[in-house]
Structure 1
Amino acid sequence: MSSPPPGLRRTLGVRDAVVIGLGSMIGAGVFAALGPAARAAGTGLLPALAVAAVVAYCNALSSARLAARYPQSGGTYVYGRERLGAFWGYLAGWAFVVGKTASCAAMALTVGVYAWPGQAHAVAVAAVVALTAVNYGGVRKSARLTRVIVAVVLAVLASVVVVCLTSGRAGAGRLDIGLSSGAGGVLQAAGLLFFAFAGYARIATLGEEVRDPARTIPRAIPVALGIALVVYACVAVAVLSALGADALGGSGAPLADAVRAAGVPALVPVVRVGAAVAALGSLLALILGVSRTTLAMARDGRLPPALAAVHPRFAVPHRAELAVGAVVAVAAATVDVRGAIGFSSFGVLVYYAVANASAWTLDPAPRARVVPVVGVLGCAVLAFALPVVSVVTGAAVLAVGALAYAVRWRSPAP
């Protein structure tokens, strides 16, 4: 009788899981999403942040409950499959892999734009290759590198907040909260900002590599989300006080522009380095999450079975990681950062809608179903409040995935 294929190794504790979640969220949100969100919301940026946080909180609670029940790689792909049926699991996995591949490319290009603007695409491809190699060496190495990245980024962000809030040029009047772009603008901005909160999914998708997942994952997800929310709120208030909503919405590098407006131009290079490092941290965790969902789908035959291989020495899904790295490297040569944020947000919101619907089936008690219901409704509203191009493109890509399922995989997975 042949021996079972090697599985992933449980090496991550609560601290490692929190750090991986933070590495995804902080890198994506602060440096990539604030500008587009401010352009959409105007003076409603802070309310939009609050709306995104509420939806993210519901999703986090639902994901934590499901991850404790199903401690496997794949996240909502597994939850949807087990609670709602094969198609819904597949749709969630497809939305995640496609949406987060766009996120990976956007983060890689963000590294290039900040590190070497004249050669942004070349730097982006090099970053993908380097981080794929790090992930290939094992998840513990990825966690250690992410810990360093998060420490550096938090130090840079703390400097930005202190400089902006203590500057004599900062104005409290720029923090006026209103609806200059209407409720639709606030919801659109919340959808864009949700892109920044989605990093805690990485904790769930690594469920097969977490020690004592029933205890670790429900603790790590809320902690990571809470820390990220505090960081986002502090940075948003600081940057708004320095630039105001209009200037923030028109800025390509809002944190760098904020410290310049605060009268400390010497800090601009430090902010640029911090942005590049943050994007590297986000990219590292994103590649981890996409490769693990790819592994889970390949195990079920929803993607090529060869991608289900686990390296006998490093205990990582090495073929899935190499495939994801190759696709992201190609995309990084052509992607537009701002467009990728909207497209990614649509896919991830669909992914979490399936997660909340799956959590709804766990407990029939009405009180236990309040959070999943709010989560599903919130995901739907934010998804369709995104820019029209993002909604149309995202819906078309999901339709392609659904058609592929109908043609090839209508029968149960092997």
Structure 2
Amino acid sequence: MKQDQRLIELLNSYTAGTCTPAREQELMQMIASGEYDAVIKQYMMQAWRQLPVDHMLGEEQAQRIRNVVLKTQAPPVIPSYRNRRWLKMAAAAIILLLAGGGAVYLFNNRSASSKQLAVTKQPVIKPGTDGAVLTLADGSTIILDSASDGNLASQANVQVVKTGGHIQYLPVGTNSDNASLYNTIGTAKGKQFQLLLEDGTRVWLNAASSIRFPVSFSKTNREVEVSGEAYFDVAQDSKRPFRVKAGSATVDVLGTQFNINSYRDEAAVTTTLVEGAVKLKNGNNEHLMYAGQLVEAFANGNTRVFHHVNTGEIIAWKNNFFSFKDTDIKTLMRQLERWYNVETVYKGRIRESVTFNGDISRGVDLGTVLKMLEMTGEVHFEIQEKTIVVTM
């Protein structure tokens, strides 16, 4: 307990800019030990909640944090989906929540560049919001962003009801077979949405995504089609397997939680199992997946399996965070493009060997995210209306 209090004292001193070299070294050692993860996380979250929304990083603070990055450099990283303990400790040492604007931490795993930070004053591009378009079985559409709470539509014996920012499909009266009536919910760039299907399955849609599903499922199976990214919490029903089609991949489940990323501009359809078990088919390949596994399904029928992945990192978007782990600049920018509804132009040579690690809130403006990235000294951004120019 006394050591916990000592750590908090050192963190307060560091964030205030009054830490002596000896105390700073003591702080780095405590963070690197790995014994105070819970204390550090609690401290970061508390400080994050106390930050004003428009708080930005001063140049002096930026340089001080950058100096800490240099002191906590780790050995070269081999890209993988594994969670690295040294990375979390180095990231915690940076304490980027001091910077405000939404960064919990951000860390670049290459040796530091001698380039000066060049942060240009940029126009404000706000983060995405909840919203989607519902297409009913008769082809009519409802803009869910602006629709009021209450009954939106009735289709056969199912009512579509909006409640608290998401929609529910509620059976009423006799449950007839409406499996031939399909609805589609789609999100644009800069939008996300949640829905509750007729069987009780919950679905979270990321930006630029869609789901096609029957108004009510048949008595023998439950099947939906997804594009983009979605997280499923599937209601258990041993008599009616739940099937998700995404690109070339098909996932069969009974009751479980999993994430599917099937954006067309990604190399593969990625399925990550959070809880339970699923069977994934892709071409002639079939995998029985267990919690903590990730499978990449390629259009040519091939698959690649990763074990013991950090599922929290992969579903960070559902919890309103970006989570970058050994992420190259182009992959990173695709995520920002979808959420902030922007396009990217690359100028000059792009070093894809440079990767980024860190968690940043999706609730902050784009300029704040870009500034956090620029702090690594490896990349510079310029916002030209809705286009981001990237130089490295």
The structure with the greater share of residues assigned to strand is 2
- Give 1 or 2 for the bigger CA radius of gyration: 2
Both structures adopt the same fold (TM-score exceeding 0.5): no
Output the TM-score relative to the length of structure 1: 0.20
The structure with the greater share of residues assigned to helix is 1
